[in-house]
Structure 1
Amino acid sequence: MASGVFHTGYGIRINLTREDLSNPGYKGLLEEITQPVGQRPRHLLQCLTDYEGGQCQCALDGKSPWMFVRRQRAGGRVTWVAAHLPLTHAATPRESDKHKAMNERIARTAARHGLDVQTEARSEDGRVITDVLVTGVGAASAGKPSTPPSPPTPSADAPPKPANATSRPCGSPRMTRPH
């Protein structure tokens, strides 16, 4: 379980071990982040490791980079912890067959018109798999990712991702204090 998350709406890091969540200026923040996922945007809370550009082990194991917050009892006290949301949809066999047929049709049609085609293409960081990637003149490409899309664009005042972000297990947040 993680002790910190990134709030995509406010562009802030949240430390669940601190009473003020390391954000004393945000009243009602705990109530907001502990709402059921069905009552808030699914992409509201992001894994800190994923946000910082690292490869979170939980996400690599097939979970989404999106998080929810819940209570956990440990040693007779209640603490707040974050956990990864599952991927939202698993294809049924019928959907899977249709999906494969559509991917094959797109690949054949693009190849017939002289375009470069890759199936099950991975992004450079390995976090997104595109079903069919079609590359045209001037390296222009189009494709539909089969993994969840990138997070929403953070607000203009959100801190940038560090260039030297490293891989670490989920639950070991690097918290920074506002200046």
Structure 2
Amino acid sequence: MVSQRQAIEAEKKAREEQEQQAQQQQSSISMAEQDRATQMLRDRLEQLRRLPPLHFTRRARGAAPPSGVPDQRAIFGSVSVDDVLLRLREAHQLVVERSWIQLATTHAEGSDGGSSSQDRVRQLGGARFQVQIPGVGTSMLRVMVAPEEIPGTEEEARSSSKAAVAEEAS
């Protein structure tokens, strides 16, 4: 009987040791996976830091706001977080979670320049979007919003002036 108990206890102890080894292996595998995932996020953050400014074009309003003073920087529409995410994905092959990014500043921060929305640029000029990857770090993305040229306006002016010059020459 004593030898049978000892055999059962030895077998139980061997199983416990095997389970413990399996848990340690599982733990080291998941730690390695976590390390790889963290390194990928660090690499992505470094890529974001090296990006040149993201350029967008929007049509300028040029109309007078209620104050009566024309705001030459106001635009139709805006540049949103979604616009920035799309540009990052399409132009730079960088995928960033929406929850990681928010508008940080505009060139007229603190003024009533139409940038009151928390995630949209509503005027021409520069802005910064902050990208914060949890547990990894923060990067600032520079965004430039330039006026969109209205099709035909400048070209029509050029062609009509060329026609006038040609008419005078004849």
**TM-score after normalising by structure 2:** 0.24
User: Which structure carries more helix by proportion?
Assistant: 2
Greater Rg over alpha carbons, structure = 2
